[in-house]
Homo-oligomer: A and B are copies of this chain.
Amino acid sequence: MKAFSTLALAAVIATVALPASAQFSKPEDAIKYRQSALSVMGTHFGRLGAMANGKIPFDAKSAQESAEIVAFMAKLPWSGFGTGTDGGKAKPEIWKEQAKFHDLSGKMEAETVKLNAAAKTGNLDNLKAAFGPAANSCKSCHDSFRNK
């Protein structure tokens, strides 16, 4: 069942592509969308980090739920970064260095897939091992593209 769920999740992640054409009527809507998606992701990522760092007790089921949500949410924000949606904490570099932005966001997505697989094992050491690289993938994108 666990193996099936992982496969099933992989199948779903594969089928949820970025919306081909983002349909935000106003730039503010796109900004709110990406901020909301990142906020939900951040909540669950933070819980995983608290478990990985021993700040809250490890709960395998809760970790699996959070990691699944993180992996799902990680696919969503990017459609909210279309041309003309500057604002929020987004640096203008996002639209000047699109190749780098897509590379870093893609790496983050890939790390959340690994993190989710690690959480599915129910083993805290696996979670710890996957959390660091995932957190670094957030940080490297934020360092380049997010205002403090």
Contact = CB atoms under 8 A, between A and B. Distances in A.
A16 B76 contact: no
A69 B36 CA distance: 13
Nearest to A13: B12
B69 A20 contact: no
Contact of A11 (B4, B20, B39): B4
A9 interface: yes
B68 A21 contact: no
Contact of A5 (B7, B11, B64, B76): B11
Integer count of this chain's copies in the complex:
2
Contact of A43 (B16, B33, B61): B33
A128 interface: no
Contacts of A65: 16-17, 19
Contacts of A69: 16, 76
B68 A16 contact: yes
6 contacts: A7-B8, A8-B12, A21-B62, A23-B56, A32-B39, A37-B40
Interface of A: 4-5, 7-9, 11-12, 15-17, 19-21, 23-24, 29, 32-33, 35-37, 39-40, 43, 47, 50, 56, 59, 61-62, 64-66, 68-69, 72, 76
Given A20-B59, A23-B47, 8 more contacts: A7-B8, A8-B11, A8-B15, A12-B12, A20-B61, A23-B50, A23-B56, A32-B39
